[in-house]
Amino acid sequence: MKIAILGGTGDIGEGLALRLAADTSHRIAIGSREAEKAENKAEEYTTELESRGLDAAVTGGENAAVAAEARIVVLAVPPYHVGDTVEAVAEALDDGDVLVSPATGMKRDEEGFHYHKPGAGSVTAIVADAAPEGVDVVGAFHNLAAARLANLDADLGVDTLVIGDDEDAKRTVSDVAEGIEGLRALDAGGIANAPEIEGLTPLLINVASSNDGLDDLGVRFQ
Ligand SMILES: NC(=O)c1ccc[n+]([C@@H]2O[C@H](COP(=O)([O-])OP(=O)(O)OC[C@H]3O[C@@H](n4cnc5c(N)ncnc54)[C@H](OP(=O)(O)O)[C@@H]3O)[C@@H](O)[C@H]2O)c1
């Protein structure tokens, strides 16, 4: 399957691109607001994969161009820009495409990070409101640490909670997630449940920063 990662030039995009390209047969395209930046990053990721003996080419291009070619489009951009990004690529999306939101709005004070719940109820709900008709929205990958994901020497052994109002789209994204070695996808219900999942991310960051040896923390439900 063709998977586009918009903002795949950033931290979580790098981790998802490397893991998906390393562990699955999906074709991964990196998106950026600047085509050349995406092409350069795609080349960097391909070189990293090749250095590990992995023959998995990653391509790159402008966000709308890579979205046009993909069935799954991951919005790996800052939470306050997901709505704009969906609008920027809306015409490139086809019926049956799936938008995936890993984004969490956070604010920081002297005590740590806190969930910044948007007016729509969650970032995933913002994406659902902005998505063109016929395009499904699924939330996933919120609680993964980018650095651990991008370090292909690191074992994952963590879960990702998957939410969505369309069961087929949710299953498709869960199958893609489970293609990553060490990642288990758990169904967490519909988009109405997104705030609980997005709100887990600042908790993980606070726990990681307050406890030695817990950098790049993830969650495993058992
Ligand atoms: N970092 C993590 O550990 C982590 C974990 C789970 C979920 N997430 C979520 O994943 C998303 C991306 O996080 P990140 O840490 O990867 O972010 P990031 O590295 O700061 O940014 C990712 C990419 O977003 C694009 N971008 C920046 N400003 C933009 C704008 N105004 N409009 C559209 N695109 C813009 C940039 O790509 P171009 O300049 O190439 O367009 C950038 O490379 C966030 O919503 C975050 O909540 C992050």
> Could you state, in order of their start, the residue ranges of all structural domains in the chain?
2-210
- From the CA of 88, give the closest atom in ligand 1: 33
CATH topology of domain 2-210: Rossmann fold (3.40.50)
- The enclosing H or E element of 144 equals none
Q: What's residue 57's pLDDT? A: 82
For residue 222, the CA-to-ligand 1 centroid distance in Å is 30
Pairing, β 106-109 against β 112-115: antiparallel
One digit per residue, the tens of pLDDT, for the chain of length 222 reads 999 999 999 999 999 999 999 988 899 999 999 999 999 999 999 999 999 999 888 999 999 999 999 999 999 999 999 999 999 999 999 999 999 999 999 999 999 999 999 999 999 999 999 999 999 999 999 999 999 999 999 999 999 999 999 999 999 999 999 999 999 999 999 999 999 999 999 999 999 999 999 989 999 999
For residue 7, the CA-to-ligand 1 centroid distance in Å is 6
- From the CA of 37, give the closest atom in ligand 1: 40
Query: In the chain, which ranges are continuous DSSP H helix?
Result: 11-23, 35-51, 63-69, 82-89, 123-130, 146-150, 167-178, 194-198, 200-210
Task: Residue 72: name the closest of 141, 6, 163, 149 by CA.
Answer: 6
